[in-house]
Amino acid sequence: MDDPRMSIRLTLPQLPLLNQLAQPVVERLSPVTPFMAPNIDEPLITRFYNGHVAAITGAGSGIGRALALNLAQAGCNLALSDINAENLAETEQLLKEFKVTVTTQALDVSDKEAVFQWADQVVQDHGQVNFIFNNAGVALSSTVEGESIEEIEWVMGINFWGMVYGTKAFLPLIKQSVQQSNKAQNGHIINISSLFGLIAQPAQSAYNASKFAIRGFNESLRQELNIERSGVSITSVHPGGIKTNIANNARGNESISALGMATGAKGLKSFNKLLKFDPDMAAKIILMAAAKNQARCLIGDDAKIIDLIQRVFPSNYGEVMHKTTRWAAKAKKKAAAKKIAAK
């Protein structure tokens, strides 16, 4: 019998700090500063990806699907994978209007042999491969005490090891493609970490561990590739709250109720409220970051502001955010009470 805890859908920790404090700043600065408003250079994207081959995991929805559509628009051929074959077929159907070659593969990225076989198949089908977007990921909400070893292994198997397998399988093939073109073609690895690869949050120990691990892996590999001068590089991507299916596919248990966090349908609703950033724009930002060979790509004002908080308060950002969150909640209740009294 399945563990009943696995069927409970839960929310990531709330960050009202972002909306309560940052929104006025965001509204003022977004139109005028690249810190808040991304500058998308469509011609640059086309030049960098046109005529190349990109492999994408988690391409059945969300950021993965948006990446596929934007790459196809730029004239990039695609090798797509997802664990959900039905969603993957929907993505493939959306790509019919573009004059690019598209291949698909139902794939569990936590299966090492399957990932390596897929990589070889991509080269066999397309003759080359230039980019790998390791995008597939899952979430788990639980206290450390409340989560099982099996749940932690599930998160790490997909989020971390899936990324490792994808990188290890595709890196030599990407290098080979670039070298065979005498470096006339581009080569890049894009690994999706998270806002929670920059800061830790309660009830997210497994997810945090996987995303911090991805960040460390990416930063080490980038230094190696820079030294090698092979024509291949890597970008570490840290999205904030993007409108994807991660909340609907998340796992968790009741242990987080001890932290005052919502569970069940209420928790799922709260989680989805945090996911506001358009995945299409997120994809464009990622493609720009790789084309410009950025080491790190932050997506969304929430990610940028939280990154800043972590830099200012590196040792006690958690305490600062917790206190600010409590203050914001009290201020919200006070404002609501004033509204009622004024009626």
Cite the active site residues.
Answer: 207
Please tell me what DSSP assigns to residue 10: B
For residue 167, give both structure tokens. 């990188």
Please tell me what DSSP assigns to residue 161: I
Amino acid at the residue 84? N
CA 309/CA 183 separation, integer angstroms: 40
C-alpha 242: how far from chain center: 8
Non-local CB neighbours of 302 within 8 Å, separated by 6+ positions: 15, 18, 22, 195, 240, 241
CA 189/CA 315 separation, integer angstroms: 31
Please tell me what DSSP assigns to residue 103: E
Angle at 116 between CA 110 and CA 122, to 5 degrees: 120
Number of Cα atoms under 13 Å in the Cβ half of residue 61? 15
Distances 193 to 37, 93, 157, 190 between C-alpha atoms, Å: 21, 28, 14, 10
Angle between helices 279-291 and 62-73 (to 10 degrees): 60
